[in-house]
Amino acid sequence: MLNIDLAGRRAFVAGVADDGGFGFAIAKSLAEAGASVCVGTWPPALNIFLNLLERGKMDDTRRLSSGEIFQFEKIYPLDAAFDTYDEIPEDLRASKRYKDVGDCSVDGLARRLVTDFGPRPLDIVIHSLANGPEVKKPLLEVSRAGYLAAVSVSAYSLIAMLQRLGPLMRPGGSALSLTYMASERAIPGYGGGMSSAKAALESDTRTLAFEAGRKWGLRVNTISAGPFASRAASAIGIIGRMVEYVSHNAPLTDKLDAGEVGAAAAFLSSPLASGITGATVYVDKGYHAMGMAVDPADG
């Protein structure tokens, strides 16, 4: 029998702030496979996340098949919009939600990992980060600042993370991100430059697979997940409609479960996927294969 066995491996999952999204589902699947899991949380969401954990509000969702409640090995503050501490504006550093977290930049994260676990602490890096401040605006109405912010946090942050975390990863390591098919097809309502950011993320995945593969022996892939009504996705404004449309028109009509993305991520992060890199893997009930709606009148 082939089993996904990640015992003895350490994963870092960027972009976990609750138990309702893909980041958490991936962290849980990695833990289920035996990995120890550290996460990075956006500073404005950090205290809420810690309070949920301390009050036991996430105990049920953290319960593994063994009955054990998995624990995050470390929870780090991370604002992936900033590569170094010096790039964080002084007024933001002094603000209520940032003043006590220290260096929450990507560089600061790398330094903390080395301090806590030594020079080569990681085997798996998961990029579950996306933000488009103008996501509800059509592309024709997006400002330059809004567009660049979407690309910066949703795509460039993967490059920034690999620049700093790649040297900290052990041989055979895996990096994985999350994308969406708006990168290749027009999805009305998914705006703010997010479609461009996802296209950049997929292109970067292929180039990074070559560069990080040759430099450190790492694999780099991305999962194109179907629409899922997480708390974060509610910012899009039409996520419910997106979920229903895919359910009506995909080859498999049951709605996507976050655990299905988590399971695919665990596989891609494991030695069982040692020959897979530079790939966009669809976990969307097969919707990407469709060329026409089942009922064209559905729009």
For the chain, give the percent of residues with pLDDT over 90: 87
Give the model's confidence band at 296: pLDDT under 50 very low, under 70 low, under 90 confident, else very high.
Answer: low
In a domain, 294, yes or no: no
What mean pLDDT is predicted for residues 14-36? 96
Q: Which residues of 54-65 are buried (b: 16+ CB within 10 A; e: fewer)?
A: eeeebeeebeee
Instruction: Give the pairing type, strands 74-77 and 10-14.
Output: unpaired
In a domain, 297, yes or no: no
* Residue 249 amino acid letter: N
Q: What is the pLDDT of residue 233?
A: 65
Place of tokens 């995909």: 250
pTM exceeds 0.75 for this model: yes
Give the model's confidence band at 1: pLDDT under 50 very low, under 70 low, under 90 confident, else very high.
Answer: confident
Report how far residue 52's alpha carbon sits from residue 193's, in angstroms, rounded to the nearest whole number.
Answer: 32
Q: Is the pLDDT confidence value at 276 over 90?
A: yes
Tell me the per-residue pLDDT of 144-154, one tens digit each, with 9 for 90 and over: 999 999 999 99
Give the model's confidence band at 168: pLDDT under 50 very low, under 70 low, under 90 confident, else very high.
Answer: very high
**Containing structural domain, residue 195:** 10-288
In a domain, 240, yes or no: yes
Tell me the per-residue pLDDT of 87-142, one tens digit each, with 9 for 90 and over: 999 999 999 999 999 999 999 999 999 999 999 999 999 999 999 999 999 999 99
Report how far residue 140's alpha carbon sits from residue 205's, in angstroms, rounded to the nearest whole number.
Answer: 27
Instruction: Give the residues across from 270 on adjacent strands.
Output: none
C-alpha distance from residue 54 to each of 47, 48, 64, 92 (Å): 10, 10, 18, 27
The helix/strand/coil state of 89 is: coil
User: Are the beta carbons of 281 and 224 closer than 8 angstroms?
Assistant: yes
What mean pLDDT is predicted for residues 46-61? 96
C-alpha distance from residue 222 to each of 26, 98, 107, 152, 245 (Å): 13, 30, 23, 17, 23
In a domain, 4, yes or no: no
Assign residue 162 the CATH number of its domain.
3.40.50.720
The helix/strand/coil state of 223 is: strand
Instruction: Give the residues across from 282 on adjacent strands.
Output: 224
User: Are the beta carbons of 177 and 222 closer than 8 angstroms?
Assistant: yes
Q: Is the pLDDT confidence value at 239 over 90?
A: no
In a domain, 298, yes or no: no
Q: Which residues contact 10 (CB under 8 A, 6 or more apart)?
A: 35, 36, 37, 38, 73, 117, 121, 122, 123, 124
Q: What is the pLDDT of residue 237?
A: 67
| Number of independent structural domains in the chain | 1
Q: Which residues contact 244 (CB under 8 A, 6 or more apart)?
A: none
Tell me the per-residue pLDDT of 242-252, one tens digit each, with 9 for 90 and over: 889 999 999 99
In a domain, 17, yes or no: yes
Q: What is the pLDDT of residue 71?
A: 96
Give the model's confidence band at 15: pLDDT under 50 very low, under 70 low, under 90 confident, else very high.
Answer: very high
161 is written with which tokens? 């993370």
Report how far residue 151's alpha carbon sits from residue 200's, in angstroms, rounded to the nearest whole number.
Answer: 8
In a domain, 210, yes or no: yes
* Residue 274 amino acid letter: S
Give the model's confidence band at 66: pLDDT under 50 very low, under 70 low, under 90 confident, else very high.
Answer: very high
List, by residue number, the catalytic residues: 180, 190
Q: What is the pLDDT of residue 240?
A: 84
What mean pLDDT is predicted for residues 250-263? 95
What is the rounded average pLDDT for all residues in the chain?
A: 94
Q: Which residues contact 90 (CB under 8 A, 6 or more apart)?
A: none
